[in-house]
Amino acid sequence: MSVDNSESLLIKKIREGDEYAFEIVFLKYYSPMCKYIWKYVRSEALAKEIVQEVFATVWETRSDLDPSGHLRGLLYEMARNKALDYIKHQKIVDQYLEERRKENRKDTVEHIKVDEDPIRERDVEQAIDALPHKARLVYKLNREEGLTYKEIAKYLEISIKTVESRMRRVFQILRDRLSKYSPIFILVCLFVEA
């Protein structure tokens, strides 16, 4: 039996609701499709999720399958389209989050004044960017994303005490680096929802 005939037979069986035929297709294409989709999304978990969605869609719409169609091509095209849709969506989400971060940072900077002169946003950004990586991450999750210490601890899989310790370190560093401004800045920094 040729490859085309075996694919046509599998499509016919799947259209009829044959779960065994569907399982054969799943076992044959699942791993190679995951590797293919990984090249787009660079995440093994996401690639698996996309491929599983493709197979779920194929099963749900099995009566629409073209018995003379090319099953492998259909599966890969569906997976590629889902991956590209995810990438487009993620770019929109990332752009929105970046705009929101900038707005939050701008709002924070605008509310900090020294002798009626606003602290320069660049100075604050440089001080934050100069923080050690782990401390900066905790700070951004708290101040820019609005997560509580408990949520940060769960997200980073660390203890709440570690989060508190990193935030204390952040405040000390920011106080030192921005000390030329005013104690008002220190109060703004310390007013964090824990």
pLDDT band at 107 (very low <50, low <70, confident <90, very high): low
On the CB side of 42, CA atoms within 13 Å amount to: 2
Q: Which of 3-7, 13-17, 50-54, 64-68 has the lowest mean pLDDT?
A: 3-7
Query: ∠136-140-142 over CA atoms, to 5°?
Result: 120
- Residue 15 contacts residue 63 (beta carbons within 8 Å): yes
Q: What percent of the chain has pLDDT over 90?
A: 36
Cβ neighbours around 98 below 10 Å, total: 10
The pLDDT of residue 100: 78
Query: Which of 60, 91, 122 is a domain's end point?
Result: 91
Structural domain span for residue 87: 3-91
Helix (H, G, I), strand (E, B) or coil at 113: strand
Question: 121 and 74 in one domain?
Answer: no
For residue 162, being part of any structural domain is answered with: yes
Q: What percent of the chain has pLDDT over 70?
A: 80
**CATH for 115:** 1.10.10.10
Total domains in the fold of the chain: 2
Q: What is the pLDDT of residues 139-176, one digit of tens each?
A: 888 887 788 888 888 888 888 899 888 888 888 887 77
pLDDT band at 99 (very low <50, low <70, confident <90, very high): confident
- Residue 126 contacts residue 119 (beta carbons within 8 Å): no
Helix (H, G, I), strand (E, B) or coil at 143: helix
The pLDDT of residue 128: 81
For residue 42, being part of any structural domain is answered with: yes
pLDDT top residue among 183 and 42: 42
For residue 179, being part of any structural domain is answered with: yes
The pLDDT of residue 108: 59
Q: What is the pLDDT of residues 132-149, one digit of tens each?
A: 888 888 888 888 778 888
Question: 179 and 130 in one domain?
Answer: yes
- Residue 35 contacts residue 81 (beta carbons within 8 Å): no
State the SS3 of 22-33.
HHHHHHHHHHHH
pLDDT band at 194 (very low <50, low <70, confident <90, very high): very low
Question: 116 and 53 in one domain?
Answer: no
Q: What distance in Å separates the CA atoms of residue 15 and residue 64, rounded to the nearest whole number?
A: 8
